[in-house]
Structure 1
Amino acid sequence: MSKDTRSIRRKGQATTIDDVAALAKVSPMTVSRVVNGKSNVREDTRERVMRAVDKLGYTPNLAASALAAAQNTRLALVYTSPSGAYLRDLLVGVLHAASHTAVQLVIHYWEDFDADAERKAARRLAKGVSGVILPPPLCDSEAAVQEFVRAKVPVVAIASDRFKDRISCVRIDDFHAAREITEHLIAQGHRRIGYIKGRGDMAASEGRFEGFRAALQAAGLPLDRHLVQDGDYTYRSGLLAAEKLLARKQPPTAIFGSNDDMAAAVVSVAHRRGLDVPRDLSVVGFDDSTSATTVWPELSTIRQPIGTMADAAVDLLLRRIRNGEGNADEVFAHELVKRESVAPPIG
Structure 2
Amino acid sequence: MRLLAVAGAMGHPEIMWRPDQGLSARKPTIDDVARLSGVGRTTVSRVLNGGPNVREPVRRKVLEAVQTLDYRVNPQARSLAGGGSRMLALVLASDLDAEPNSFYASALELGAVRQCLHSGFQLFTRHVPQDDPAAIQQVIDIALNQRCQGVILTPPFSDNADLIQQLRARGVHLAAISPGGGGLGLVDAVGIDDEAGGHDIARYLLELGHRHLAYLGGIAGHLSAESRLDGVRRAMREMGLPDDALTVERGDFTFRSGSLIAERMLALSPRPSALICANDDMAAGALSVAHARGLQVPGDVSISGFDDTPVSAIVWPPLTTVHQPLKAMGGEAVRLLSERITGGGGDWAFRTLPHSVVVRESAGAWEA
After TM superposition, is the score higher than 0.5? yes
Q: Corresponding residue for 1:6?
A: none
Superposed, 1:209-220 pairs within 5 Å as: 209-220=229-240
| Structure 2 match to 1:137 | 156
Equivalent pair of 1:169/1:328 in contact (CA under 8 Å): yes
Aligned: 1:74 with 2:87:
yes
Per the alignment, in what secondary structure is the counterpart of residue 235 of structure 2?
Answer: helix
8 Å contact kept, 2:156–2:223: no
Q: How does 1:14-163 map to 2 (within 5 A)?
A: 72-81=85-94, 83-115=101-133, 117-127=134-144, 128-162=147-181, 163=183
Partners of 1:198 and 1:225 in 2: CA distance: 20
Deviation at 1:343, TM superposition (A): 0.7
Indicate the SS of the match to 2:129: coil
Equivalent residues of 2:312, 2:318 under 8 A apart: yes
Alignment map for 1:144-293 (pairs within 5 Å) = 144-162=163-181, 163-224=183-244, 227-293=247-313
Q: Alpha carbons of 1:145 and 1:111: their partners in 2 closer, same or farther (altered >3 Å)?
A: same
Aligned partners of 1:204, 1:244: CA distance in 2, in Å?
A: 25
Q: Are the equivalent residues in 1 in contact too, given 2:215–2:246 (CA < 8 A)?
A: no
Matched letter for residue 118 of structure 1: A
d(CA) in 1 for partners of 2:160, 2:10: 40
Aligned residues: 282
Q: Deviations over 1:75-105 (max 9, x none)?
A: 0011122623211211211111112222121
Does the residue aligned with 1:177 lie in a helix, a strand or coil?
helix
| Letter aligned with residue 173 of structure 1 | D
Structure with the largest fraction of helix: 1
Tell me by how many angstroms 1:144 deviates: 3.2
* Contact preservation (8 Å) 1:76, 1:131: yes
- Matches of 1:165 and 1:338 in 2, distance apart? 33
Which ranges in structure 1 are unaligned for 5 or more consecutive residues? 1-27, 31-41, 43-67
Distance in 2 (alpha carbons) for counterparts of 1:243 and 1:77: 35
Query: Distance in 2 between the 1:124 and 1:331 partners?
Result: 30
1:322 corresponds in structure 2 to 342
Spell out, residue by residue over 1:265-287, the C-alpha distance to the aligned partner (whole angstroms, 9 max, x if none). Answer: 11011001001111111111111
- Is the 8 Å Cα contact of residues 286 and 301 (structure 1) preserved in structure 2? yes
- Please give the alpha-carbon distance, in whole angstroms, between the structure 2 residues aligned to 1:251 and 1:210: 22
Query: What per-residue deviation string (whole Å, max 9, x for no partner) do you get for residues 11-55 of structure 1?
Result: xxxxxxxxxxxxxxxxx979xxxxxxxxxxx9xxxxxxxxxxxxx
- Is 1:342 the counterpart of 2:360? The answer is no
User: For residue 125 of structure 1, what is the amino acid of its counterpart?
Assistant: I
8 Å Cα contact 1:164/1:328 also seen in 2: no
* CA deviation after TM superposition for structure 1 residue 126, in Å: 2.2
Q: What TM-score do you get using the length of structure 1 for normalisation?
A: 0.76
Task: Tell me, in whole angstroms, the C-alpha distance in 2 between the residues paired with 1:301 and 1:314.
Answer: 26
Shift of 1:186: 0.7
What letter is aligned with 2:269? K
What is the identity, as a one-letter code, of the residue corresponding to 2:125? I
Q: Report if the CA contact (8 A) 1:300-1:340 is conserved.
A: yes
Alpha carbons 1:280, 1:346 under 8 Å: kept: no
- Given that residues 161 and 169 in structure 1 are in contact (C-alpha distance below 8 angstroms), is that contact kept between their aligned partners in structure 2? no
Contact 1:178 1:212 in 2 (8 A): yes
Shift in Å, 1:177: 1.2
Whether the aligned pair in 2 keeps the contact of 1:292 and 1:299 (CA below 8 Å) is: yes
Amino acid at match of 1:132: V
List gaps (5 residues or longer) in structure 2. 1-8, 12-41, 43-81, 95-99
Mapped partners of 2:239, 2:367: distance in 1: 20
SS at match of 2:366: coil
Offset at residue 138 of structure 1 (A): 2.5
Larger radius of gyration: 1
Residue pair 2:213, 2:246 contacting (<8 A) in 1 also = no
Partner Cα separation in structure 2 for residue 112 and residue 201 of structure 1? 11
Q: Is the 8 A contact 1:126 1:151 kept in 2?
A: no
Paired amino acid for 2:141:
R
Deviations 1:133-168 (A, max 9, x none): 112332223453233122121211112243133211
**2: CA distance between counterparts of 1:122 and 1:309?**
21
- Whole-Å Cα distance in 2 between the matches of residues 261 and 124 of structure 1? 31
Give distance in 2, aligned partners of 1:257 and 1:168. Answer: 29
CA distance in 2, matches of 1:134, 1:226: 32
Cα distance, 1:241 vs structure 2: 1.0
